[in-house]
Amino acid sequence: MKLRKVTAAAAAALVLSLTATACGGDDKDSDTGSGSTDGGGTIKVGIKYDQPGLGLKEAGGDFSGFDVDVATYVAKELGYAPDKIEFVETKSADRETALARGDVKFIAATYSITDERKQKVDFAGPYLLAHQDLLTKADSDITEATDLNGKKLCSVTGSTSAQNVKDEIAPKAQLRSYGTYSECIAGLQSGAVDAVTTDDSILAGFAAQEQYKGQFKLAGLKLSNENYGIGVKKGDTETVNKINAALEKMVSDGAWETAVKENFGPANYKNEPAPKIGDIKS
């Protein structure tokens, strides 16, 4: 994957945010004290740190990925330039707690909108539709979910992927729940597990990594609909509305498409078209 210091979307965000600041129309300091924003004009945003193409902390400390670009665009619309964003790692199992505690203002971290999660957090979006899939070694004979019976299948604690495995996809698989997908991928490479399951967007990003090229294959099964939303603290309707407006703008001004091409192009991931706000595919 190409390393980028500042993405095109982030650069555009900077220009626009300077304009926004000049107009002075935001109320970024109104929630001082929640911990997720401060009087100095910074905002804390939850992302993944280990998912290439979506949310990745590079070796040099830069951040890249589609979620990073979406988060950067949204933050700009909320009145925060890229250099005012503090990214915080929010692993799958930690997202609801991070929002409830006010550790972050919002989360853009391959975070599927579900009824269960909506009991605890609010969502803006969706901004991407992905599907659960399987990743195996290139020479594996696992091609269908039914081939997983008795096999060691890795997913991540707190994810819809792990839950779907238990509930319907492969209840008879030996589910190994790890803390992150990069740990699952390491397990697949070493032979500790036979397959990894999560969103196709995430798996494609790993499979395209230089060190894994040619070693893995995606089954290409659309085992679920994963509607990615931006998580915010329960009850913060004002932020949800602002983020929805930002996401609509990101699609209409072409920044969404640019971010898709830059981040999913290298992984050859064929994403679904931009979803409409509020249109959740079940």
Stretch that binds ligand GLU, among 11-19, 120-128, 154-162, 186-194 (CB under 6 A): 154-162
Binding residues for ligand GLU restricted to 92-111, rule: CB under 6 A: 92, 109-111
Q: Which is nearer to ligand GLU, 12 or 121 (CB)?
A: 121
Kindly list the distances between the CA atom of residue 278 and the CA atoms of 173, 178, 247, in Å, as whole numbers in the listed order: 34, 31, 11
Q: Is position 64 an interface residue for ligand GLU (rule: CB under 6 A)?
A: no
Q: Which of 104, 156, 165, 274 is the binder for ligand GLU (CB under 6 A)?
A: 156
Give the amino acid at 264: F
Closer residue to ligand GLU in complex, CB, 7/110: 110
Q: Is residue 227 within the footprint of ligand GLU (CB under 6 A)?
A: no
Question: HEC string of the chain?
Answer: CCCCCCCHHHHHHHHHHHHHHHHCCCCCCCCCCCCCECCCCCEEEEECCEECCCEEECCCCCEECHHHHHHHHHHHHCCCCHHHEEEEECCHHHHHHHHHHCCCCEECCCCECCHHHHCCEEEEEEEEEECEEEEEECCCCCCCHHHHCCCEEEEECCCHHHHHHHHHHCCCCEEEEECCHHHHHHHHHHCCCCEEEEEHHHHHHHHCCHHHCCCEEECCCCCCCEEEEEEEECCCHHHHHHHHHHHHHHHHCCHHHHHHHHHHCCCCCCCCCCCCCCCCCC
Alpha-carbon distance of 45 to 105, in angstroms, equals 6
Shortest distance (Å) from residue 167 CB to ligand GLU? 13
Shortest distance (Å) from residue 111 CB to ligand GLU: 5
Out of 112, 182, 244, 263, name the contact with ligand GLU by CB under 6 A.
Answer: 112
**133: nearest Cα among 271, 274, 279:** 271
Q: Which stretch binds ligand GLU (CB under 6 A): 65-73, 142-150, 153-161, 264-272?
A: 153-161
Q: 81 vs 99, which CB is nearer to ligand GLU?
A: 99
For ligand GLU, the closer of residues 32 and 157 by Cβ is 157
If binding means CB under 6 A, how many residues of this protein chain bind ligand GLU?
12
159 binds ligand GLU (CB under 6 A): yes
226 near ligand GLU (CB under 6 A): yes
Give the one residue of 64, 136, 177, 198 binding ligand GLU; rule: CB under 6 A: 198
Q: Between 122 and 226, name the residue whose CB sits nearer to ligand GLU.
A: 226
Q: Does 72 bind ligand GLU (CB under 6 A)?
A: no
Whichever of 8 and 93 has its CB closer to ligand GLU, that residue is 93
- Contact positions vs ligand GLU (CB under 6 A): 92, 109-112, 156, 159-161, 198-199, 226
